[in-house]
């Protein structure tokens, strides 16, 4: 029994039957009741969940959202979700978001996959030797990773920014401008992107015979408050850094505040380069001293990832398995020559 | 056929059968195949979607996310989602988020409700005479509104902040400090919260025989860039305002930049009060001149809304239908007496 047959049986148009089933107020009560009675008698399945159960497709992508009281919401996550949404809306896909205790992410991913409510899974906030990868590979549904996992066999589908190259390029610019003490205000230490960015800086310094000392490194969640605290600590060092790399414009917001409050001039007394995820909230060109940045759009990454996941479900063959995006290095006023 | 019966039939523990069905790698291939064969033969439903189809419960709340290319992601939305997640994780609920063209929100809500994938719907970004309310009332599943809709019959379940009172209180403080020209940097003009905040300011001015002129009002999406542009325009007026109300700390970020760039002192030359949604990204106490604010936590609102929706599904009787939260007025350094 399909919609056409049901409509013919009832002597109603398919539009009317469909509207009655979907609760449109324009359909009068008597008609609605006739339709519902016929549905019961014929076993017609108006319910999309039922249809999807039959076809085995849910039209959705599953995500786990680590959640706990006091856990910071992440502006980067919201922006990424907007990008996913841009692509999903073109294909009439939706998302199933499962909030989960950060200790229970693997369990939550399993439950999502087993629920039958998602066709594919999306993974982010990658760590070294990430234990979620092995589990995802054992599941019968496809998945896609935003980022990579150092220490894991690189045999999984991903989209990543070349974080090591980005921070290597940024550090190299500061070195060319004569800076020798370059510090890092980074994201959480256990996350893959943070490790790669640190490696990029360390390698550039090493090429010049310089070392990245522990007193010049800060790792934390990426809020302006943490950026400010980190910069305040750097500025109290006997030999303070003259150049700083920041893993987010959000961290840079706090770092710049600390520089201003210390009475120093950004781009003269101290140079700073931030990674710019192109958050509409914080444009680097709008800082009172516009920021030099490594730029890669999180929204574009989200959109591309949703396109790839949906494409893999529709078995489009031209979807590359692994993509590494290059960040652009854009010079503005926050960088200048090191003072002699 | 339930899990216990299936396990007895196979001579396996329930744990092993459950693990085999959920794709745990610890279960060997032969056992997994035996289990899957028995599932087919017996008609056992391991699939949660199937179970939920049988019980009529999906364990989820549906949201529509307005999405279009160039549409700004909203940091306020991310923070609210974190609050929803906090409550949902306690009850093992998840979210189904449907991205939709802003012109097609009603259609998207209908499709979500008809999908069978959600037990309840959540509605936000309320407008005057909001057409979505009538549609939601016609659906067989419960819904809850964040905010309210001026011009609509107030017979729907909601949680709102008393936005009119908040901005009335803020304006009253500025008036007591001797300010007479008070301007408003507000959210989008068609949104209910923005209209109520404008009313709060207008009423407080009116009580003192003053008018809120069109040259003293700005309406836009709430980014720092728009806050800056609005403040720059105010500062160019022949009789510039001495006090300003901002609908978000994000708008205030740009407004304060414009004040600084004009060489004016916040809290002395010009006073500013911002509404603080308690975004972890932008704490008003961390501004170089700490901001006086009207405060109400978006995350707490999200958590409460999820509790109420889940409670209504579990038919807990003590869930109030309508809640109006009072914002706190917290005085910091960005407000001071009007210059004579």
Dig out the tokens for B85 from the structure. Answer: 């997640």
All residues of chain A having their beta carbon less than 8 Å from the beta carbon of residue B25 are 134-135, 138
CB B297 within 8 A of CB B330: no
Q: Is A51 helix (H, G, I), strand (E, B) or coil?
A: helix
Q: Does B114 contact A140 at a Cβ distance shorter than 8 Å?
A: no
> CB B47 to CB A97 under 8 A?
no
Q: What is the pLDDT of residues A262-295, one digit of tens each?
A: 999 999 999 999 999 998 878 899 898 999 999 9
DSSP, collapsed to helix, strand or coil, labels residue A130 as coil
Domain with CATH 3.40.50.2300 in chain B: 60-161+299-325, 163-296
Q: For residue A42, give both structure tokens.
A: 């014929």
> How would you list the strands of the sheet with A182-186, edge to edge?
A217-219, A182-186, A243-246, A271-276, A292-295, A328-330
Task: Give the pLDDT score at B23.
Answer: 61
List the B322-325 sheet strands across, edge first: A322-325, A158-161, A143-146, A120-123, A60-66, A94-100, B94-100, B60-66, B120-123, B143-146, B158-161, B322-325
Closest chain B CA to residue A84: B99
3-state SS string for chain B: CCHHHHHHHHCCCHHHHHHHHCCCCCCCHHHHHHHHHHHHHHCCCCCHHHHHHHHCCCCEEEEEEECCCCCCCCHHHHHHHHHHHHHHHHCCCEEEEEEECHHHHHHHHHHHHHCCCCCEEEECCCECCCHHHHHHHCCCCCEEEECCCCCCCCCCCEEEECHHHHHHHHHHHHHHCCCCCEEEEECCCCEHHHHHHHHHHHHHHHHCCCCCCHHHEEECCCCHHHHHHHHHHHHCCCCCCCEEEECCHHHHHHHHHHHHHCCCCECCCEEEEEEECCCCCCCHHHCCCCCEEEECCHHHHHHHHHHHHHHHHCCCCCCCCEEEECCEEECCCCCCCCCC
Residues of B in contact with A29 (CB under 8 A): none
The three-state DSSP-derived secondary structure of A242-261 is CEEEECCHHHHHHHHHHHHH
Pairing of strands B182-186, B217-219: parallel
Phi-psi region of B178 (alpha: psi -120 to 50; beta: other; left: phi over 0): left
Which residues on neighbouring strands pair with residue B238, listed in sequence order? none
The pLDDT confidence band at residue A168, using thresholds 50, 70 and 90, is very high
- Per-residue burial over A23-59, b if 16 or more Cβ lie within 10 Å, else e, is beeebeeeebeebeebbeeeebbbbbbeebbeeeebb
Q: Cβ B25–A94 below 8 Å, yes or no? A: no
> pLDDT tens digit string along A199-257?
999 999 999 999 999 999 999 989 889 999 999 999 999 999 999 999 999 999 999 99
Q: Quick check: B71 pLDDT over 60?
A: no
> How far lies B165's CA from each of A167, B196, B200, B284, B293, in Å?
49, 9, 6, 20, 13
- B275 has pLDDT over 70: yes
Q: Which of A17, A84, A85, A297 to probe by mutation at the B interface, max B CB count within 10 Å?
A: A85
Q: Report the topology of domain B163-296.
A: Rossmann fold (3.40.50)
Nearest alpha-carbon partner for A116 in A25, A193, A50, A196: A50
Residues of chain A neighbouring B263 (CB-CB closer than 8 A):
none
Task: Give the separation between CA A92 and CA A85, rounded to whole angstroms.
Answer: 10
Which tens digit of pLDDT belongs to each residue from B235-246? Answer: 999 999 999 999
* Residue A266 DSSP class: B
Which one of A49, A81, A224 has the shortest CB-CB distance to B281? Answer: A224
Which of B100, B116, B225 is closest, CB to CB, to A286?
Answer: B225
Cβ–Cβ below 8 Å for B65 and A78: no
Instruction: Name beta bridge partners: B145.
Output: B123, B158
- For residues A61 and A88, the answer to whether their CB atoms sit within 8 Å is yes
Evaluate if residue B50 carries a pLDDT over 60.
no
Task: State mean pLDDT over B175-202.
Answer: 96
Q: What residues in A contact B48, CB-CB < 8 Å? A: 111, 114-117
pLDDT of B111 higher than 90: no
| C-beta of residue B65 within 8 angstroms of C-beta of residue B98 | yes
What pLDDT score was predicted for residue B53? 46
Q: Does the distance separating the beta carbons of B98 and A97 come in below 8 Å?
A: no
Place of tokens 């004016």: B264
User: What's the pLDDT band for A46 if we cut at 50, 70, 90?
Assistant: low
Asked whether residue B264 carries a pLDDT value surpassing 80, the answer given is yes
The angle formed by the CA atoms of residues B159, B160 and B165, to the nearest 5 degrees, is: 150
Among the partner residues A21, A52, A67, nearest to B89 by beta-carbon distance: A67
pLDDT of res. A43: 65
Residue A294: in which H helix or E strand, if any? strand A292-295
Q: Which residue from B minimizes the CA distance to A248?
A: B281
Q: Name the range with the highest mean pLDDT among A51-55, A229-233, B3-7, B283-287.
A: A229-233
Among B197, B202, B166, B162, which residue's Cα sits nearest to residue B294?
B166
Contact B99 A98 (CB under 8 A): no
Across the interface, do A223 and B68 touch by the CB < 8 Å criterion?
Answer: no
Looking at the complex, report in whole angstroms how far the Cα of residue A251 sits from the nearest Cα belonging to chain B.
9
CATH of domain A60-161+299-325: 3.40.50.2300
> Could you tell me the pLDDT band of residue B317, with boundaries at 50, 70 and 90?
low
Average pLDDT, chain A: 88
- Widest pairwise Cα distance in chain B: 89
Q: Output the CA–CA distances (angstroms, integers) from residue B243 to B184, B192, B259, B338, in the order listed.
A: 9, 23, 12, 8
Q: How confident is the model at residue A171 (pLDDT cuts 50, 70, 90)?
A: very high
Angle at B189 between CA B185 and CA B195, to 5 degrees: 85
Distance separating alpha carbons of residues B180 and B204, to the nearest angstrom = 11
Least confident of A70-74, B144-148, B177-181, B333-337: A70-74
CA dist A191 and A245 (Å) reads 17
Q: Which residues of B touch A50 (CB under 8 A)?
A: 53, 116
Q: Is the CB of B85 less than 8 angstroms away from the CB of A65?
A: yes
Check CB contact under 8 Å for B257 and A288. yes
Where residue A53 falls among pLDDT bands split at 50, 70, 90?
very low
Minimum Cα–Cα distance from B109: chain A residue: A22
Contact list, A68 vs chain B (CB under 8 Å): 86, 89
Contact at CB, A280 and B223, closer than 8 angstroms: yes
B138 contacts in chain A (CB < 8 Å): 23-25
Looking at CA atoms only, how far is residue B109 from chain A in angstroms? 11
Chain A contacts of B250, Cβ < 8 Å?
281
Q: B1 pLDDT band (50/70/90 cuts)?
A: low
Tell me how many degrees the CA angle A273-A278-A283 measures, rounded to the nearest 5. Answer: 70
How many residue pairs from chains A and B have C-beta atoms closer than 8 A?
204
Nearby residues of B236 by Cβ (< 8 Å), 6 or more positions away: none
| B132-157: pLDDT as tens digits | 999 999 888 899 999 999 999 999 99
Q: How far is A116 from chain B (nearest CA, A)?
A: 5
Higher pLDDT, A66 or B179: B179
Least confident of A192-206, B103-117, B259-273: B103-117
Question: Helices marked H in chain A — which ranges?
Answer: 3-10, 14-21, 29-42, 48-55, 75-90, 105-114, 131-137, 163-176, 192-207, 224-235, 249-261, 298-313
The pLDDT assigned to B229 comes to 96
The pLDDT score that the predictor gives to residue A266 is: 98
Contacts of B113 in chain A (CB under 8 A): 22-23
Query: Phi/psi class of residue A191: alpha, beta or left (left: φ > 0; alpha: ψ in -120 to 50)?
Result: beta
**Rounded distance, CA A245 to CA B26, Å?**
44
Check CB contact under 8 Å for A81 and B69.
Answer: no
Smallest CA-to-CA distance from B93 within B331, B323, B338, B302 is with B302
Q: A89 pLDDT exceeds 90?
A: no
Nearest to B116 among A47, A112, A113 (CB): A47
Q: CA of A331 to nearest chain B CA: how many angstroms apart?
A: 21
Q: How confident is the model at residue A111, as a pLDDT?
A: 85
Apex A98 CA angle, A94 and A86, nearest 5? 30
A94: which strand partners?
A60
């Amino acid at each position: 029994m399909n919609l056409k047959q049901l409509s013919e049986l009832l002597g109603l148009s398919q539009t009317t039957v469909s509207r009655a089933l979907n609760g449109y107020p324009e359909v009068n009560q008597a008609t609605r009741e006739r339709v519902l009675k016929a549905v019961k008698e014929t076993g017609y399945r108006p319910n999309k969940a039922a249809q999807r159960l039959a076809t085995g497709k849910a039209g959705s992508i599953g995500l786990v959202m680590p959640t706990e009281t006091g856990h910071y919401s992440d502006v980067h996550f919201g922006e990424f979700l907007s990008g996913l949404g841009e692509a999903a809306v073109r294909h009439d896909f939706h998302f199933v978001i499962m909030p989960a205790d950060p200790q229970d992410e693997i369990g939550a991913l399993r439950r999502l996959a087993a629920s039958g409510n998602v066709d594919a899974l999306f993974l982010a906030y990658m760590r070294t030797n990430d234990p979620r990868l092995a589990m995802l590979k054992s599941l019968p549904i496809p998945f896609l990773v935003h980022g990579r996992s150092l220490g894991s066999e690189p045999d999984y589908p991903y989209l990543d920014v070349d974080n090591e190259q980005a921070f290597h390029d940024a550090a190299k610019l500061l070195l060319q401008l004569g800076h020798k003490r370059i510090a890092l205000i980074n994201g959480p230490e256990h996350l893959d992107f943070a490790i790669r960015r640190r490696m990029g800086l360390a390698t550039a310094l090493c090429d010049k015979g310089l070392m990245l000392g522990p007193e010049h490194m800060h790792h934390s969640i990426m809020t302006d408050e943490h950026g400010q605290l980190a910069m305040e600590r750097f500025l109290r060092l006997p030999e303070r850094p003259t150049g700083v790399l920041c893993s987010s414009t959000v961290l840079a917001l706090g770092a710049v505040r600390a520089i201003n409050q210390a009475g120093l001039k950004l781009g003269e007394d101290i140079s700073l380069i931030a990674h710019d995820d192109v958050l509409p909230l914080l444009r680097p060109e709008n800082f009172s001293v516009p920021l030099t940045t490594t730029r890669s759009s999180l929204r574009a990454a989200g959109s591309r990832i949703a396109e790839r996941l949906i494409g893999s479900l529709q078995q489009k063959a031209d979807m590359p398995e692994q993509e590494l995006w290059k960040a652009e290095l854009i010079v503005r006023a926050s960088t200048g020559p090191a003072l002699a």
